[in-house]
Structure 1
């Protein structure tokens, strides 16, 4: 009797580009950024500030951003679960078994998945400006009308036109900025232009808004083993601070630090408070 051999589909792992700061002998901290954002959105000076505090800091380009693998726009062949595995790939490539993990915005959601899927590899977790995964958040405050209107304008942008795209991203940065500090448009525009050119454009990055996944972890945040610190701006227009509070409430033992007037950003004037909080959380765990 002829034995049938099941066909196996091999999915090639993406190339994930990463960069590190500090002494590899120090406790590792893996940084995961949010939707459409390359590693550069973790400011280099903030990374160095964390490294000077005694950490080995790693940032990386998510799929479809920066110099990592990109896919056809509108057809992402991956999920949030795959992006959580990408984080483990970064650690594997650097020979790191266990690390402290910090994620911002969508990166904070990916970081939650990392901690749930790979508990033995996460020493502690910091989630910045994000929302809890696997929970009903319909009762929480929504994204501000002003930012929702800005996002809707994205449908009119020619994503192959550098000028249009840079203008749109800069307007978005202003819309989510801190209310406690002045918005530096010149610095922001220079940075966005740098990131756009390094990434070769942002068209593929729009795939991030089409992703699914994480369903297996619905209602299971209470199972998280990693000590959790939530950092959230009180003026965040994308995920109002109640999202951070709900996340902290869902995870036993979690702590939350509110950045007064903080928006959905890592403003230079808040780096000292943010980095001190992260370092203290890591040293305690």
Structure 2
């Protein structure tokens, strides 16, 4: 679905955000905003996107400078989490949705948190003219990696010559392998899927550096965050990109958040034995049930501190 031609939103600085609204708008379900992570593009949400869009509208988009989205004409802006959160805010204001749910994956989880904290930051705070009722924070963190480092990609080779397709694939391979886990990668049954993913992530996309998220320091703003948005944390114990220990930081800074439950009931996972690329594990139906079970929970009463619209 996300391979269709996108629409574009043009920001005041001339940059463009490529986005798609996919799915069924006749069910009355709240729109779901999917916020993708570092070096990823909107199509990387498949096959989860296709399943989630069966009974609700789903917004997918490329972060600034990624996929079909562009930098400003000058190209001299500092690419920060706050800038990408403000890009998302601009797009959501344009779409004029009054209530939404958000799922942020990896760096996308940081962008989602920054969006929620924009009303409280010291410099140029801005209110949100919509309510976020449900937030899913998947394989993410609350700021720079300051304890377990997890996988650290090697510096890319010199860009003084154009790389061949095979060179690009081999450059991307270690990161993709780290986003899964050795057992998953070694399983012959996953070989075709791994190669398909490797082809996708090798398709000439911009590679932001980890240093671009190093300045995201949100800790002092969390106490100001209202509690009217329910928060679900999804994080695998085999995550080698953002180690599982970082999920405890999310739960500490957002005390009303809860970890996805382990079990065999509705909305539960059979285990937390999965890697960073979480929806490549189990089945898409399992993840659909986990997410929809959470999104279908009644929204909480509005906290006066978080009254944003």
Q: State TM-score, norm by structure 2.
A: 0.73
Question: Could you tell me how far apart the structure 1 residues matched to 2:180 and 2:98 are?
Answer: 36
Pair 1:131–1:65, CA change in 2 (3 A): same
Correspondence for 2:48: 46
Aligned to 1:193: 199
Distance 1:128 1:106, change over 3 A: same
Q: Deviation of residue 230 (structure 1)?
A: 0.5
Write out aligned runs for 1:136-155 (5 A): 138=146, 140-143=147-150, 147-148=151-152, 151-152=153-154, 154-155=155-156
Go from structure 1 to structure 2 and tell me whether the alpha carbon gap of 1:233 and 1:211 turns closer, same or farther (over 3 Å shift). closer
SS at match of 1:16: strand
2:176 pairs with 167, 173, 178, which one?
173
Whether contact under 8 Å (1:64, 1:205) holds in the other structure is no
The alpha-carbon deviation at position 260 of structure 1 amounts to 2.1
CA spacing shift, 1:137–1:192, aligned 2, 3 Å:
closer
Count matched residues. Answer: 260
Match of 1:123 among 127, 133, 136: 133
Per the alignment, residue 7 of structure 1 pairs with: none
Runs of 5+ unmatched residues, structure 2: 1-10, 119-126, 263-270, 300-309
Mark the CA change 1:277 to 1:68 in structure 2 (over 3 Å): closer, same or farther.
same
Give me the CA root mean square deviation.
Answer: 2.9
Gap change, CA 1:121 and 1:186, over 3 Å in 2 = same
Partner of 2:239: 236
Greater relative contact order structure (CA < 8 Å, 6+ sep)? 1
Change in 2 beyond 3 A, CA 1:58/1:130: same
Deviation at 1:76, TM superposition (A): 4.4
Greater shift, 79-88 or 161-170, is seen at 161-170
Q: Is the 8 A contact 1:170 1:189 kept in 2?
A: no
Paired with 2:255 and 2:70, the residues of 1 have a C-alpha distance of: 36
Once the two structures are TM-superposed, the CA of residue 75 in structure 1 deviates from its matched residue by 5.2
Name the stretch that deviates more: 265-274 or 233-242.
265-274
Moved more, 29-38 or 243-252: 243-252
Structure 1: gaps of 5 or more residues: 1-9
1:283 aligned residue: 296
Which residue number corresponds to residue 263 of structure 1?
275
Q: TM-score, normalised by structure 1?
A: 0.79
Distance 1:234 1:212 in 2: 23
8 Å CA contact retained: 2:63, 2:84: yes
Counterpart CA distance in 2 for 1:71 and 1:194 is 25
Partner of 2:85: 84
Which residue does the alignment assign to 1:6? none
